[in-house]
Amino acid sequence: MLFGLLATRALAGFVSNFTMRWVSRRVIENLRRDTFGRLMRLPVSFFDATSAGVVTSKLTYDTEQMAGASTKVAMSAVRDVLTIIGMVAYMLYLDWRLTLIFAVVAPVMAWYLKKMTPKLRSSGKSVQQSMGEMTQVIEEAVSGQRMVKIFGGGDYEYQRFAKVAGKNRHMQIRLARLSGMNSMVVELLAGVALALVVYYAVGKFSAGEFAAFIGALLMLIAPVKTLTGLNEELQVSLAAAQSVFELIDSAPEDDNGAKELARVQGEITFEHVTLQYANAKRPALKDLNFSVQPGEKIALVGRSGGGKTTLVNLLPRFYEAQQGRVLLDGVDVRDLSLKSLRQQFSLVSQDVILFNDTVFNNIAYGVLRNASEAEVIAAAKAAHAWDFIQQLPNGLMSEIGDRGVRLSGGQRQRLAIARAILKNAPILLLDEATSALDTESERHVQAALDELMQNRTSIVIAHRLSTIENADRILVMEQGQIIEGGNHEELMALEGHYAKLYKKQFH
């Protein structure tokens, strides 16, 4: 019978621990999925304002902290609260007056814990912030290794890391001190209660009654102490929950448009468009008015900070204009669903984004996932990328490393162009698409781009003016406004801003 009881207890313990761990991991997985799902729907402005390290820390460290609250804290709280209720009932049964002595100390314990709780939560928050900072420093130092090495920044990065690691240690120790203090004060108060009980009970009870009461009182101290310790875990978990749910509750991109367009003709109109970034002193775009005809090739030129990239970012609604409208085939882009709107664009930017995956998956990315190998090869050939892809160890199935680190700048650029060719969208946005190329590659890529631009509306941002001489129209931008417009010959004849820029580049 004894063996049966112990075996039942062992089995129950295993089932209890395993199921709680299972529940905890499911809760964390669901939280991470929900958080990441929301992350994918947040506007570009969120990522401009938040470092990748902080977001990574929320998805890894903060969600992990919540595992405790979802299982261990809940289970212990139920078990220990029931134990306390049972013990207090037994003590009342033995002697209600003695129990009242203990009850006098209980409000003091509750008041102390209530006072310490905000400090615990604040410390938990500080620990999470320091973890975010640590992740950020590691990420920057690892991804920027070439710069770190060439500029001798190893010691500086070490000092940065040492500083945040020290801050994390300091915060963890503060948390441990507060938690330890709580436990110590509760034990001292329990000691006071015990002393008072003994003082009052001596000579008034039989040895058996006295032993039973003291035994019950001692058994009561352990769950009270455990609950005090759980308070630390609970507060840290609540601080983590606040951090994670803050991200989940962030407003997603405004996607209220209901209209769907199959494939647009490519007519673009800007009507009195004004946009000013948060904390900027002047607008990035100021009362902008112009239109682009289907199939027209428009080049945007001008000094850095003139608003060229901002203008391009308004088309797929990476940013929203504060005033005016942007029309696509006569339809306000805000009336279109984001999915339908973004299907109409292919983007090749100066800052090529590649993923630590195969060449094939980098070209056939996202909505292009179902493309056949023949289609991917055709796109690679059109982008003049097929020659170098064939030289890679596994061809299309070669891994290209973090952000395409195993490829040259020109090769990365050509993969991005192959991706744009494969998408076959009616409107092309090219932001400095040939800037990373040598003369030989540029000639190839320029030919590929010219091929790609046929029968498509194209908006090209260029600093190298030689690449846009054949544009249908060149718009010169300065401080968020268009100050000149026309083809190459017309603008040269004007002898204005464009002519000055052109002569400066070629003399």
Give tens-digit pLDDT for 262-318. 888 888 999 999 988 887 888 888 888 889 899 888 999 888 888 888 898 889 998
pLDDT at 470 over 60: yes
First to last CA, the chain: 101
Does 295 lie in the same domain as 241?
A: no
Whether 441 has a pLDDT exceeding 80, the answer reads no
Candidates 82, 85, 83; CA nearest to 93 is 85
Digit-coded pLDDT (tens) for 220-278: 777 877 777 777 778 888 888 888 898 889 888 888 888 888 888 888 999 999 988 88
- Integer Cα distance of 251 and 254 in angstroms: 8
Range of lowest pLDDT (201-210, 317-326, 384-393): 201-210
Q: Is 36 inside a domain boundary?
A: yes
Checking if the pLDDT of 5 tops 90, the result is: yes
What does the pLDDT read at residue 433? 67
Q: Quick one: tokens of 349?
A: 């930017």
User: Is 254 part of any domain?
Assistant: no
C-alpha 65/C-alpha 63 separation (Å) is 5
Domain boundary among 248, 282, 313: 248
Same domain, 193 and 121: yes
pLDDT recorded at residue 203:
67
The CATH code of the domain that includes 497 is 3.40.50.300
Q: Are residues 339 and 203 in the same domain?
A: no
Model pLDDT, residue 118: 83
Q: Which of 30-39, 84-93, 307-316 has the lowest mean pLDDT?
A: 84-93
* Helices and strands (H, E) in the chain, number of each type: 18, 10
What is the band of 435 on the pLDDT scale with cuts at 50, 70, 90?
low
SS3 284: coil
DSSP letters for 158-205:
HHHHHHHHHHHHHHHHHHHHHHHHHHHHHHHHHHHHHHHHHHHHTTTS
Tokens standing for residue 206: 């039989």
Q: Is residue 260 part of a domain?
A: no
Output the DSSP codes for 27-96: HHHHHHHHHHHHHTTS-HHHHHHS-HHHHHHIIIIIHHHHHHIIIIIHHHHHHHHHHHHHHHHHHHHH-H
pLDDT band of residue 465 (cuts 50, 70, 90) is confident
pLDDT of the residue at 250: 87
Residues 240 and 296 placed together within one structural domain of the fold: no
Residues 9-36: what's their mean pLDDT? 88
Mean pLDDT of the chain, nearest integer: 83
Distance between CA atoms of residues 272 and 325, nearest Å: 7
Kindly state whether residues 286 and 191 are assigned to the same domain: no
SS3 percent helix, strand, coil of the chain, rounded to 5, is: 65, 10, 25
Q: Is the pLDDT of residue 507 over 70?
A: no
Of 129-138, 141-150, 310-319, the least confident: 141-150
Q: Is residue 243 classed as helix, strand or coil in its secondary structure?
A: helix
How far apart (Å, rounded) are the C-alpha atoms in residues 502 and 339? 39
pTM, entire model: 0.75
For residue 183, is pLDDT > 90? no
**Does residue 202 have a pLDDT over 90?**
no
**Hey, which residues does 327 pair with through a beta bridge?**
269, 332
Number of domains into which the chain is organized: 2
Residue 133, classified by CB atoms within 10 Å of its CB into exposed (0-12), middle (13-18) or buried (19+), is: buried
Q: Do the domain assignments include residue 40? A: yes
Place of tokens 């070439």: 146
For residues 18 and 130, membership in a common domain is answered with yes
For the cut 80, the answer to whether the pLDDT of residue 436 exceeds it is no
335 shares its domain with 449: yes
- For the four alpha carbons of 194, 199, 203 and 204, in that order, the dihedral sign comes to negative
- Which CATH number does the domain housing residue 118 bear? 1.20.1560.10
Phi, psi of 473, rounded to the nearest 5 degrees: -145, 140
| 196 and 277, same domain (yes or no) | no
Q: Are 487 and 473 in contact (CB under 8 A)?
A: yes
- What's the order of all strands across the beta sheet hosting 331-332? 285-292, 268-275, 323-328, 331-332
Q: Which domain holds residue 375?
A: 268-506
Based on the fold, state whether residues 350 and 455 are members of the same structural domain.
yes
Give, to the nearest 10 degrees, the angle between helix 207-248 and helix 96-143.
30
Residue 152, in any domain of the structure: yes
Same domain, 241 and 360: no
Asked if 474 and 498 count as a contact pair (C-beta separation under 8 A), the reply is yes
pLDDT at residue 213 above 90?
no
Average pLDDT for residues 113-134, to the nearest whole number? 83
273 with 413, same domain? yes
- Whether 434 shows a pLDDT value over 70: the answer reads no
Q: Are residues 281 and 428 in the same domain?
A: yes
Tokens of 334: 């805000």
pLDDT at 10: 94
